[in-house]
Structures are given as structure tokens and as C-alpha cells.
Amino acid sequence: MMPVNRFVVAAALGILPHWMVGYGFAQEPPKPAAQPSNRADAGDPMLKVVTLKHADAHSVDSTLKQLGVPLSSSVTGPQTIVLRGSPADVQKVIDTLIAAVDVPGVTGKSARSPEVIPVRHYPIKEIGGLVRSVAQKASLAVDETRRTIVVDGTEDERRAIREVLKQIDSPTRSVKVHLYFLRGAIGGASSEKELQLPADLLPVGKTLVQNGFGRLSLIAPIVIGVEEGQHFESKGRLQLDGDTAAADDLTFNVEGVVRLASGADDAWLTLRGRMLGKYSRNKDAEAETVFELDTSVATKLGNYVILAAAPSSTASGDAVALVVRLTAE
């Protein structure tokens, strides 16, 4: 693995202004070395001759032009490149992009070479760790503003990264997260005939009955619309019965992220949540933790998944279950 500082290019390059010098080096010779000390501070253009230790100057120059960085560049030798721009911009390119690609390589069919790969849809902030997992020896620079990655590695490493992006870099879809809070009881005789659930939830209810739940009813269905990959959160209070003054209402807070497989119904849900409730008519009673969860589950669109099912109070025998279902619009 390369040192971490060689991987970090995105932040430095991403904040640079989008401008390019409109004239080449042949039109303006290098300025004398002796200049007033305040010119660099003012950000006036400067020339910087960079001698590369490992990389080919033409490859570096091509990479700079593909990225559209706010500099002009000119190749003056196999491993010599001249940069022209503001002192700050020149230094950022040297410290980030050139540091990432000017690393020892090998010759022959496994020779290293930089390649600029666009990322069109996948969250750019998350792409670095994912692609490094399949090409650990390649140097990687992520430009968040231009949504590109610069990969300096062998052809096999770059091909592996392109294949990963082909699988995951697809347009995002709208997803609906359906949360079903079910109330029931633990202990005693349980019967499927006692289920007071909508028809589509009956199979879920039967599963819960087989695991000791009884007298199940739906407290409330909640539907959250979210874009795939975006964080969602929902919180509120659920009233357990018709008595608005009841002290045993439940408060909940759930948050998570949904991922969908490209071209399939496979889905992944990361969910964290907590529910509190009072199981006493005494308004001063302290709320008890009904359940807490922090999990990631794999499912298919349209399926129901039981994520939490626990007694709310061992004294009362009350119980609450959380069922989740994902659908794509």
C-alpha cells in the first residue's frame, strides 16, 4: 500500500477554481528568478519546472489535461514538466496529483500508468475505500468536484477498478422504506385467529406467533421516501390505543441507508433505531427501552423483514415488533 498522503488528491484539486491559462509557454518565456517578494503572495502566475523521478512526463501532462486542473503544462523532457499557474495552485498539484502518480513502477506488460476514470452516479465520497479494496497496490486520487478518480497502476489493477465501477456506478433509484410497528403480547396461549393484521402482514404475524407472540395488531405503518444511498431518518410517537391521555405511548427514532444491486431485486438495509415506552398509567413513570437495534440486512425488494421483536415489559407481558419492507418506485 502507498502512504496515505499519496492517495489524497480530491480535496486539494476539487476546490480549485475552474479556469485555464489561454496561452502556451512558447508565447511567454520564463520570467527572471528575481522578483519582488510580494508577487507570490498576490497569486501572480509563476513557472515551476518539475523533474519526475519515476513517472513519464507525457503521461502526467495528459492526466492534468484530462482533469482540467487550473494550470497550463508543457513537457520539456522525458521526465521534466513545466507548470504555469498561481503559486498555490502549482504547489497543490505537486503535493497531490504528482505525488500520487510519481511512484516507483515496473516495466514490461505490468508497467504502471495513470488513468482518469469518471464516476457518474456512485457517492464520490465513498468510492475511494471501495476501489482500493480491489487494487490495493495502485495509487488512487479522488477528485470529488469533477467526480473522477486518477488510478496509477498496472493494466490489471485498472481493469479491476473499471469492472467494479461497471457493477455499482448506475443511476440511483427512488426507494420506499415501509416501517410496520406491531403490538402484541408474550406468554399465554397464542393463536393465528387472534391476529388483527392487514392481509399482506398475516404471514409475518404467523411467524411471530410461532415464536411466542400473540394478539398482534398494527400500531401504525410509516412510509419513508428516499433516494438510494441517501441517509434517511424518522422519529415520532405512536399511540397505543384510543386514549389520547394514555401514559404508555411509544416514542421511536430510526435512521439508515438503502443500497440496491444493479439490475436485480437485491437490496441492503443499514438501520439503527431505538424505541422507548411507558407501561404504567402513572404519568411520572420512567420510560423503558422497548428495543434498540444497529444492524445491516440483505433482502429483496417487496420482502418483509422482522428487525426487532421483544417484550416491552416483563411485568405486563406487552410486546412490540418492528417489520421493515423495501420497495422501489
Q: Domains of the chain (ranges plus CATH)?
A: 4-168 (3.30.1370), 174-328 (no CATH)
| Mean per-residue pLDDT, 96-120 | 72
Q: Is 247 exposed, middle or buried (0-12, 13-18, 19+ CB in 10 A)?
A: middle
Question: What pLDDT, on a 0 to 100 scale, did the predictor assign at position 24?
Answer: 30
pLDDT digits (tens, 9 = 90+) for 216-275: 888 889 999 998 888 899 998 887 655 444 445 788 999 999 988 766 788 989 999 988
Q: How confident is residue 66, by pLDDT bands cut at 50, 70 and 90?
A: confident
| Mean per-residue pLDDT, 94-118 | 72
Q: How confident is residue 326, by pLDDT bands cut at 50, 70 and 90?
A: very high
Q: Is the pLDDT of residue 75 over 90?
A: no
For the chain, give the percent of residues with pLDDT over 90.
13
At residue 50's C-alpha, the angle toward residues 45 and 56, to 5°, is 130
Give the full edge-to-edge strand order of the sheet including 80-85: 46-51, 80-85, 72-77
Q: Is the pLDDT of residue 3 over 70?
A: no
Three-class secondary structure of residue 4 per DSSP: helix
Dig out the grid coordinates for 87 from the structure. 503559486
